Chain A
Amino acid sequence: NAGVTQTPKFQVLKTGQSMTLQCAQDMNHNSMYWYRQDPGMGLRLIYYSASEGTTDKGEVPNGYNVSRLNKREFSLRLESAAPSQTSVYFCASTGTGWVEQYFGPGTRLTVT
């Protein structure tokens, strides 16, 4: 099992460009999450999906959209990137009845 995979690993965008971060898990987990991690700030929840077909806002959703394409895949889209979105983005998943989350390796995004 690959666990949680994320693509790309690194990305540089110019202000105003758009991009989609991809996340997939092969553990048959129902819930999936997108976080951003900034220096000294820990992890902050952007959006989550408790099950296929549902998505909800987390702590910092502004400037982002998500799609739960199917049970395996949960994508995060930046429609018009801003320098404030420079961060490391992590996807995570967990199974029904579990609380431990499994994390992907992260995507390091720089917006200039």
Chain B
Amino acid sequence: SQQGEEDPQALSIQEGENATMNCSYKTSINNLQWYRQNSGRGLVHLILIRSNEREKHSGRLRVTLDTSKKSSSLLITASRAADTASYFCATDEITQGGSEKLVFGKGTKLTVNP
């Protein structure tokens, strides 16, 4: 079953504006990741935040995590047309055998208009 749910499903902004996407999940996690998928391509890892972290930055990306609310947000500042893509959150799940799986949300489709 899918753990993460992104909100909104779609977001359209102008170049230079900030874009915020949210992710909610259901069970306890060790970490949460965000991935980007350009149209017709595979997913690319953007950033990982661990359950004991509240905020993390990477370039124009800022991720927050609120474990009490089981939610995370991804902020892209000063967006560019090249940021147009779908963005997915993924939470970890430990299997009975002890290996780690990722459970992906349905994604937010971001369009940045030039």
Residues of chain B within 8 A (CB-CB) of A58 are 101
Give the residue among A50, A94, A101, A103 with the most B Cβ atoms within 10 A: A101
Interface string of B55-90 (1 = CB under 8 A from A): 000000000000000000000000000000000100
**Is B104's CB within 8 Å of the partner chain A?**
yes
**Is B92's CB within 8 Å of the partner chain A?**
yes
Taking a contact as CB atoms under 8 Å apart, the answer to whether B43 and A103 are in contact is: yes
**Is A31's CB within 8 Å of the partner chain B?**
yes
Q: For residues 27 through 43 of chain A, which have their beta carbon under 8 Å from a beta carbon of chain B?
A: 31, 33, 35, 40-43
The size of the chain A interface, using a CB distance under 8 A, is 27
A92–B44 alpha-carbon span in the complex (Å): 10
The size of the chain B interface, using a CB distance under 8 A, is 24
Nearest B residue to A40 by beta-carbon distance? B106
A99–B1 alpha-carbon span in the complex (Å): 19
Taking a contact as CB atoms under 8 Å apart, the answer to whether B100 and A99 are in contact is: yes
Question: Residue B97 contacts which of A35, A56, A59, A104 (CB distance < 8 angstroms)?
Answer: A56
**Is A64's CB within 8 Å of the partner chain B?**
no
Q: Please report whether the interface of chain A is mostly helix, strand, loop or mixed according to DSSP.
A: strand
Residues of chain A within 8 A (CB-CB) of B44 are 103
Nearest A residue to B43 by beta-carbon distance? A103
**Is B52's CB within 8 Å of the partner chain A?**
no
Residues of chain B within 8 A (CB-CB) of A78 are none
Residues of chain A within 8 A (CB-CB) of B43 are 43, 90, 92, 101, 103
Residues of chain B within 8 A (CB-CB) of A104 are 42
Taking a contact as CB atoms under 8 Å apart, the answer to whether A31 and B99 are in contact is: yes
| B residues at A contact (CB < 8 Å) | 1-2, 31, 33, 40-45, 48, 88, 92, 95, 97, 99-107
| A residues at B contact (CB < 8 Å) | 4, 31, 33, 35, 40-45, 48, 50, 54, 56, 58-59, 90, 92, 94, 99-106
